[in-house]
């Protein structure tokens, strides 16, 4: 990714992808710049982290299916 100015759409894609793969150095830098300037994308990052952590703590039944409250 060569451009320095990401749109929020591009940033949200990179945020999501960063949870599944290591970003290239250029992607990391442009994303970090964008997150430093954009409160909406910073909030999206925190929400994604919260959901991922919550799902890790969500118990499963012995058969692997989800428990219902």
Whether residue 69 has pLDDT greater than 70: no
* 24-58 per-position pLDDT tens digit: 999 999 999 999 999 999 999 999 999 999 988 87
Q: What does the alpha-carbon distance between residue 7 and residue 4 come to, in Å, rounded to a whole number?
A: 10
Split at pLDDT 50, 70, 90, the class of 1 is very low
Split at pLDDT 50, 70, 90, the class of 3 is low
Q: Which residues contact 59 (CB under 8 A, 6 or more apart)?
A: 67
Helix 25-37 with 8-18: angle, nearest 10 deg: 120
pLDDT confidence of residue 61:
61
pLDDT confidence of residue 25:
96
């Amino acid at each position: 990714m060569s451009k320095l100015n990401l749109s929020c759409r591009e940033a949200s894609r990179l945020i999501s992808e960063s949870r599944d793969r290591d970003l290239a150095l250029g992607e990391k830098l442009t994303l970090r710049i964008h997150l430093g300037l954009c409160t909406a994308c910073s909030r999206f990052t925190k929400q994604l982290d919260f959901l991922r952590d919550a799902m890790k703590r969500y118990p499963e039944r012995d058969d692997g299916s989800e428990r219902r409250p």
